[in-house]
Amino acid sequence: MDTIHIRGGRRLKGAIPVSGAKNAALPLMTAALLTDEPLRLSNMPRLTDVKTLGKLLAHLGAELSVEPGEHADTTTIRAADIKSTTAPYEIVSQIRASFWVLGPLLARCHQARVSLPGGCAIGARPVDLYIKGLQKMGAEIDLVEGYVVASAPGGLKGAIVRSPVVSVGATHTLLMAATLAEGETVLENAAREPEIGDVARCLVAMGAKISGIGTSTLRIEGVEKLHGATHSVIADRIEAGTYAIAAAMTGGEVTLEGVDPETFDAALSVLRAAGAGVDTEQGAVRIFRNGERLQATDVVTQVFPGFPTDLQAQFMALMTTADGESEITETIFENRFMHVQELARFGADISLHGDKALVRGVPKLKGAPVMASDLRASAALIIAGLAAEGETVINRVYHLDRGFERIEAKLGACGAEIWREKA
Ligand code: EPZ
């Protein structure tokens, strides 16, 4: 297994081009199943999760072609014939977003058999909201031997679905299902994450009738058929936020290129509150710190537009050397603190109390061998390693490759001493 090595203590200085968002690219790929015409997606990130989902789509009968570009790929997916409506355990267990083929398969083929999902080990992650929503739209659903077996003879019907919990995945699934349902569907308490808006805009380009994009009430008037389209994936706000935190951690100055600052405004506000400098302009954000120690700052993870759970681990790494005590509350996933014990290896002082982590800032971290437990936790370990004295070795970096494109190259170009050793 590959390892990533960092000799810490260097300030990051330079510019980082931000890639297309993994969490938009994946649902956008599944949207290709809604039509027999080609869906052309540009600004696609080069990530193992994208490849894994590509394998699933190919298994279902889609044809995929990838045109490599200088900074990003363009992927064209054509699902002219759906040959299978079964998404097997072997693939779905590797990546949670592959479960989301349930919506488009059921909408277009009126049946689907999809393995219960896997993904990052950050909590129980049930799928009850998906199932209840689809049932409201007329689907019959059984759980058989670890598979969700769904059918909608005659097609899905529009319905009012109010979700008790805001769920990104359930919103993607029900939104796609509704595009081809008969009549109007209203999704109340829908997720408002920018990736949902990106997918909704792509669906509109494919001929879907959707209003309320960007709000928590989505109205979808079902159409008989969707057609092909071309769409550019939005920039990855979590990748951008991660590099912003890395810049603040090392006391450097980094310009993030190709981002929409509004999509990670909550993170930028918290960085400002902690004492980092943040300048935003159209399509770019500059993060800097003038050498003074950051101030301990509390955060509570929330659904968009709140502070994202996908930046919680990275922000905790930042707080390990801040002045004072910060309280970090995780409200979205109940088990998203696996990075705490790894940060302790650097000398961080963190105690856990239910859904809260209390971080007492220490003056310095020391490099250590550590183990990545999930995707965003691995990024937190990189951030700690960049600031720590001495060498850090990160094991299980396959987690990182799922969601961060060329992280060593991007950080290396800003002066970090970071390299990968192949197993
Ligand atoms: C998406 O996961 C993202 N994944 C996650 O990013 C992200 O952390 C999460 O949204 C929250 O923003 C992708 O976009 C591929 P949810 P998802 O359904 O859709 C509960 C990363 O690192 N819930 O919004 O799985 C659930 O348990 C990943 O890139 C139910 O109770 O998250 C959780 O507490 C990790 N029943 C809450 O809702 C359900 O049926 C929010 O989960 C569904 C969800």
**Model confidence over 340-390: pLDDT tens digits?**
999 999 999 999 999 999 999 999 999 999 999 899 999 999 999 999 999
Cα 167 to ligand 1 centre (Å): 6
Give the domain-ending residue among 212, 232, 252.
232
Q: Are residues 143 and 193 in the same domain?
A: yes
Give the domain-ending residue among 192, 215, 232.
232
DSSP state of 53: H
Distance of CA 7 to the CA centre of its chain: 28
C-alpha span between 334 and 341 (Å, rounded): 16
At 346, list the tokens: 């650097």
Position 143 pLDDT exceeds 70: yes
Could you tell me if 200 and 158 are in contact, meaning their C-beta atoms sit under 8 angstroms apart? no
Indicate which residue's Cα is closest to atom 6 of ligand 1: 310
Ligand 1: nearest atom to the Cα of 128: 40
Using CA atoms, how far residue 382 sits from 242, 393, 408, in Å, is: 10, 9, 10
Q: Are residues 191 and 256 in the same domain?
A: no
Q: Are residues 251 and 224 in the same domain?
A: no
Q: Angle at Cα 405 formed by Cα 403 and Cα 411, nearest 5°?
A: 115
Helices 168-179, 22-31: crossing angle, 10 deg rounding:
30
Q: Are residues 8 and 69 in the same domain?
A: no
Ligand 1: nearest atom to the Cα of 95: 15
Q: Are residues 332 and 354 in the same domain?
A: yes
Cα 331 to ligand 1 centre (Å): 12
Indicate which residue's Cα is closest to atom 14 of ligand 1: 23
Q: Give the structural domain span for 105.
A: 22-232
* % of the chain with per-residue pLDDT over 70: 98
Mean pLDDT of the chain: 96
Cα 310 to ligand 1 centre (Å): 10
pLDDT digits (tens, 9 = 90+) for 199-211: 999 999 999 999 9
| Mutation test residue for ligand 1: of 22, 120, 165, the one with most atoms within 8 Å of CB | 165
Position 98 pLDDT exceeds 80: yes
Could you tell me if 80 and 58 are in contact, meaning their C-beta atoms sit under 8 angstroms apart? no
* 6 three-class SS: strand
What are the start-end ranges of the E strands in 319-396? 325-329, 349-353, 356-360, 369-371, 391-395
Residues 6+ apart with CB under 8 A from 73: 44, 45, 46, 66, 67
Using CA atoms, how far residue 80 sits from 38, 65, 227, 228, in Å, is: 8, 14, 11, 11
Q: Are residues 240 and 295 in the same domain?
A: yes
Q: Are residues 54 and 15 in the same domain?
A: no
Indicate which residue's Cα is closest to atom 19 of ligand 1: 169
Average pLDDT rounded to a whole number, residues 7-30: 97
Could you tell me if 195 and 21 are in contact, meaning their C-beta atoms sit under 8 angstroms apart? yes
**CATH number for the domain that contains residue 288:** 3.65.10.10
Could you tell me if 321 and 362 are in contact, meaning their C-beta atoms sit under 8 angstroms apart? yes
Catalytic residues: 120
Q: Are residues 182 and 289 in the same domain?
A: no
Based on the structure, what is the number of domains in the chain? 2
Could you tell me if 16 and 243 are in contact, meaning their C-beta atoms sit under 8 angstroms apart? yes
Q: Are residues 158 and 250 in the same domain?
A: no
Give the domain-ending residue among 232, 260, 276.
232
- Residue 291 confidence (pLDDT): 77
Around ligand 1, the residues with Cβ closer than 6 Å are 23, 26, 96-97, 120, 123-130, 165, 167-170, 191, 309-310, 332-333, 375-376, 403
Cα 417 to ligand 1 centre (Å): 34
- Residue 108 confidence (pLDDT): 98
- Residue 120 confidence (pLDDT): 56
Cα 162 to ligand 1 centre (Å): 17
| b/e map 282-297, b = 16+ CB within 10 Å | eebbbbbbeeeebebb
Q: Are residues 135 and 254 in the same domain?
A: no
| b/e map 372-406, b = 16+ CB within 10 Å | bbbbbbbbbbbbbbbbbeeebbbbbbebbbbbbbe
At 24, list the tokens: 């938009």
pLDDT digits (tens, 9 = 90+) for 27-48: 999 999 999 999 999 999 999 9
Average pLDDT rounded to a whole number, residues 144-170: 96
Position 123 pLDDT exceeds 70: no
Ligand 1: nearest atom to the Cα of 49: 15
Q: Are residues 195 and 214 in the same domain?
A: yes
Q: Are residues 271 and 225 in the same domain?
A: no
Ligand 1: nearest atom to the Cα of 403: 29
